[in-house]
């Protein structure tokens, strides 16, 4: 989730079938995303770019291949390569989404 959903978002029927969009799980994810939302403001970018930039901090990751539905999203995704997360940013993301975090099946 890249921060575009809220408690009042209207979900498609397909989305409603996915575990991450159901009940307490959905509310928990929204709460976790809200914890890292200030990083987007700090870095003057979208939340999706914070997530992509975080993945790029991992030694085992050489590249990320984000999805995009249109040209504008492709251009926005390029911004992630310019985001420089500091140790505090990374710690905040890891606190919100620890390595042990898993969605229910």
Within its chain, how far is the Cα of 42 from the centroid?
15
Q: Give domain status of residue 103, yes or no.
A: no
Q: Assess if residue 28 is contained within a domain.
A: yes
Global confidence as pTM: 0.82
Q: Is residue 101 part of a domain?
A: no
- Domain with 92 in it: 13-96
List, for the chain, all residue ranges whose pLDDT scores fall below the cut of 50: none
The number of folded domains in the chain is 1
Tell me, yes or no, whether 105 lies in a domain. no
User: Residue 1: its pLDDT value, please?
Assistant: 54
Residue 41 gets the label, from left (phi > 0), alpha (psi -120 to 50) or beta, of alpha
């Amino acid at each position: 989730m890249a921060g575009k959903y809220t408690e009042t978002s209207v979900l498609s029927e397909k989305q409603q079938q996915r575990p991450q969009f159901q009940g307490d799980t959905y509310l928990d994810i929204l709460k976790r995303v809200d914890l890292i939302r200030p990083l987007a403001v700090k870095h003057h970018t979208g939340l999706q770019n914070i997530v992509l930039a975080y993945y790029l901090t991992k030694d085992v990751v050489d590249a990320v291949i984000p999805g995009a539905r249109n040209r504008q999203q492709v251009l926005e995704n390029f911004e992630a390569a310019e985001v420089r997360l500091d140790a505090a940013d990374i710690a905040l993301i890891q606190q919100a989404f620890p390595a042990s975090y898993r969605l229910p099946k």
